[in-house]
Amino acid sequence: MAEPSSTVAGRAAAIQMASGPNVSANLGEAERLIRLAAGSGAALVVLPENFALMGNSETDKLVARERDGTGPIQDFLARQARDHKLWLVGGTIPLAARDPGRVKASCLVYNPAGERVARYDKMHLFDVRLAESNEVYNESVTIEPGDQVCVVDTPFGRLGVGVCYDLRFPELFRRMLDDGMEILALPAAFTALTGKAHWESLIRARAIENLSYVIAAAQGGYHISGRETYGNSMIVDPWGVIRGRQAHGAGVICVDIDRTLLDTVRRNFPALDHRRLRCG
């Protein structure tokens, strides 16, 4: 598809990390990468899932959990958004849940004034066995699932928020689309095995089928716990074109959000208007 002349709504960044069990060290690294993104002109920054803590055990998140609205990780996110005057999608952090033995995996969105404007609690939990790599994950043991879709107004467009394993459930993003989603922020920590098999295909599919930008910020590297995450953070446009990618290790990718491209694709290829079935 020939590209129209650009009308840039703003510059977006996906941050990739290889977080460990030390919250202070992880916040220091996140601050460094946010500063790099801001220095590259980013006005919308997305951090990866578990950016503040990739523990040695699943129960580490229970020790680090914060009450909703107060705590050092939440203070950090608000300060970064305010200091750099940008919109910040705060990966996920552990917030207190109804069940004292579990947390919510919460993604918080802050505006340039440092005000929290949205919260999304990860809905789909990664309870799987990967026989090929002998990995077992049971997120539901320590995480309480959310049940609310999150789409919020921003200067770049209507921003939807999903997290990692959510990516495999297209009905969630159709619900976001019904709420006006134009850009999707997707913090993640895909395993090396599932990432190699499915990550790019799923990211591009969500962009193509919803004619939306996808900003996918991932964990990428080897972690102290022994886990390996896939990385390959990317920003994909509404036509499914990968506009930027960070294959391995910590780093930042920045891409302009082109409103003219989004509007032109949706107008010339009106698949969203051709839907015969609706969610809800």
User: Is 164 an annotated catalytic residue?
Assistant: yes
* Options 29, 49, 182, 228, the catalytic residue: 49
User: Is 196 an annotated catalytic residue?
Assistant: no
* Options 29, 104, 107, 122, the catalytic residue: 122
- Listing DSSP states for 68-132 in one string gives TT-SHHHHHHHHHHHHHT-EEE---EEEE-SSTT-EEEEEEEE-TTS-EEEEEE--S--EEEETT
Strand order, beta sheet including 157-161? 151-154, 157-161, 183-188, 213-218, 233-236, 242-246
d(CA 46, CA 90): 6
User: Is 49 an annotated catalytic residue?
Assistant: yes
Classify residue 129 by burial, with Cβ atoms within 10 Å: 0-12, 13-18, 19+: exposed
Name the 3-class secondary structure at 173.
helix
How many CB atoms lie under 10 A from the CB of residue 280?
7
Phi, psi of 135 (to 5 degrees): -105, 140
Hey, what are 29's tokens?
């690294």
Q: Which residues pair with 106 in a beta bridge?
A: 93, 121
* Options 107, 150, 164, 254, the catalytic residue: 164
Residues sharing a CB contact under 8 Å with residue 280, sequence separation 6 or more, in sequence order: 175, 178
Question: What is each CA distance from 71 to 68, 96, 108, 169, in whole angstroms?
Answer: 8, 11, 13, 31
* Residues annotated as part of the active site: 49, 122, 164
